[in-house]
Structure formats: structure tokens, C-alpha cells
Amino acid sequence: MTASPRLLSVATAVPPFAIRQSDVRHRIGAIFRERAGEAERFLPVFGNAGIETRYSSVPLDWYEQDHSWSDRNPLYLSSAIALLREAAGRALAIAGLQAADIDGIVCVSTSGIATPSLDALLMQQMDFRCDVFRLPVFGLGCAGGVLGLARAARLAQAAPDERILFLVVEPCALTFCRNDYSKSNIVATALFGDGAAAAVVSCRGTGPRITSAGEHTWPHTLDVMGWGVGDEGLQVIFSRDIPALVRERFRPALDNYLVRHGLAIADIDDWLCHPGGAKVVEALEDVLEQPRGTLRHARSVLRDFGNMSAATVMFVLARALERGGIGRRALLSALGPGFTVAFLMLENAEGEAGGG
């Protein structure tokens, strides 16, 4: 029988600057000062986002100035490495391991460019072995937390004696473009925060089993979300139709995934979804036929940290594990560019604890 990879630990990290949503709303005129009157029309977006606090790699007044791509990317690199080092150190400590015990690193990030990759840069600051294998992954966007963890689990299953460190970091608030007055940029200004997460995955050890993963990419949906590139750097693309697309297309993809694994929606005890935004959370609760507030961990992470792109679902997972653990089956899900939905199943055997 093939051994199942297990989630040995999960840890998160945020940068030092806590930013209240109310402060952003009050300073929106200064941030978009050349067209402050126009920006004022978008203030309801901030009030309806379901967010109270976010964390930023830079202080709030940084966003009031113009920044080129050559200004932003060094900040992305320094912030990403600091966050990864903190999250990785915590995940290793929880698992009772040292950096030298890790055999492979999967590192996901889509909010900046790093060559050498982030995992190679991190190796200069932590005592990983020189023969550790590395898999940097770019372009998955918000789906990267689920898809990256799924890739790490497959690698662990292929090498049952090895330990894989999964890393995800998104200082995505740094992508804010002050001279972009598109609705997508305004929404991102109201949603994005910075954060990182780490997890240790292996067939050796204890923790919830990662029993299956799946994804579905819909055709003709490349314009739903992603990045454009301008003189200031990466420019976010968000379709206003995302909540409607969730209502129309999420459930059939979910049902197909569950059927392939001999399950139904009633077999899932905990839904650990990337929240995206408040309207997306509501749409997910509707298509899952769950009462309002069922996705409590998704809602509370959105409230306390904002949307940290790929890292967010790992914060949801960490919060679930910290606050009572998960039931027999928990399903992680996230939506990302492609337009893609990703699924990953965690299971506890009867009598096993649900904590990480």
C-alpha cells in the first residue's frame, strides 16, 4: 500500500506594519491625490471588503509616492526572504526538525521576480543541505497555496522517506500602482495584504493525511484574473464577474472532483477556502449549500489579514488547526489565474487529533 503524505506542521508570518482598513479609507485622497475626487467614488469598496486589518512590508505613506518596477522588486525580494525565513523557522520548530532535515523545497510566489529563485536565496540564510532539491513555482496566483501544497504532497509520496518543505509568500500589496485608476487596482487596494506560510510534508511523522488533490481550468477564461505589466510593475487583473463565475461553475467542478474520489459534499466536515473577498465568500457558502458564516475561518482570516493571494488559504488552514483542529475530512480550495480552481483533501483517521 502506498503511504500517504502527512501535514506535519503549518506556520505563518506577516510583515511588521499593521494597517487598518479605516486608515486606508481616510488617506485614499492622498494616495490618489491627482484624481482624489474620482477615487472617492470607490470608498464603498473598502467598507464592503470584510477587512479590518492587513499587514504591509512598507509603511502606509509609501503608497502615497510613485514607485518604478526597479524600486518595487528589491522590496519584494527582501520582504519575501524575511517572511519565508520566519515562517520556515516556525514550521520546522513545530515539526521538531532542523533545516538540515529537509530534502526538498517547493516555493510558490507570483507577486515579484526572483532569479536566483527565492528558495536559493533562502538557502543563504538557513542551514539547508547543499543537496536539497528545489522547485520554485510562479504564475499560480491565489490558487498557489493549494496547488503548491498538492505538488509538495506528490513529491513526498514519490519519496516516502523524504521531508518536503512547502513555502508560499506574497508581498502582493507592493504591486499597488498609484497611477492606475482601473477598478481592478482599486479593488486590490482594498483587499491586498502581505504574508507568508510554510508547511512540512512527509510520509514520516504524524498529522492529517493529504489523500487527494485536483484542479479544473475552464477554457476561454484567461482574462478573469492575473497580472499585466506596466512601467510601474505588475498590474492586477480582476474580473467583476468572479462571484458570478463561482456561483455558476464552482459546484460542478467540485462535484466532479468528489465523485472521482468516491465522496459527496456531505462527507466534508470542514471547508477551508481561500476567501478572495467578501462577495466570493458569500458565493462559496451559497454553492456549498451552507448557512451564512459557515466559512468562519475564511471570514476571520480575511478580516484580520486581507487577501494575501496564494498564502491566504494556508492562513485559513493554520487558523483551523489552531482553533480546535479539523474534522475527519477537510477540503482546501482556491481560485486562481487560468481561470482555475484547486482542491486538496486532508483526512484524519478515527481517533486521530486534528491539529497540526
Q: Which amino acid is at 285?
A: E
Confidence of residue 19 (pLDDT cuts 50, 70, 90): very high
pLDDT for 192:
92
CA 298/CA 331 separation, integer angstroms: 12
Model confidence, pTM = 0.94
CATH of domain 209-347: 3.40.47.10
Based on the residue annotation, tell me whether 142 is a catalytic residue of this protein.
Answer: yes
Percent of the chain with pLDDT over 90: 73
Per DSSP (E only), the strands in 17-117 are 17-20, 53-56, 104-108
Multiple choice CATH, 6-202, 3.40.50.1000, 3.40.50.300, 3.90.550.10, 3.40.47.10: 3.40.47.10
Q: Which three cell numbers stand for residue 82?
A: 524575511
H or E element: which one contains 277? none
Residue 356 pLDDT greater than 60, yes or no: no
User: What pLDDT does residue 351 have?
Assistant: 41
Report, as an integer, the average pLDDT of 176-189.
81
Query: Domains of the chain: which residue ranges?
Result: 6-202, 209-347
Identify the CA nearest to 342 among candidates 92, 149, 85, 57.
Answer: 149
Q: Could you tell me what percent of the chain has a pLDDT over 70?
A: 95
Domains 6-202 and 209-347 share a fold: yes
pLDDT at 352: 53
pLDDT of residue 39: 66
- From the candidates 107, 130, 142, 203, which is the catalytic residue? 142
Provide the 3-class DSSP secondary structure of residue 250. helix
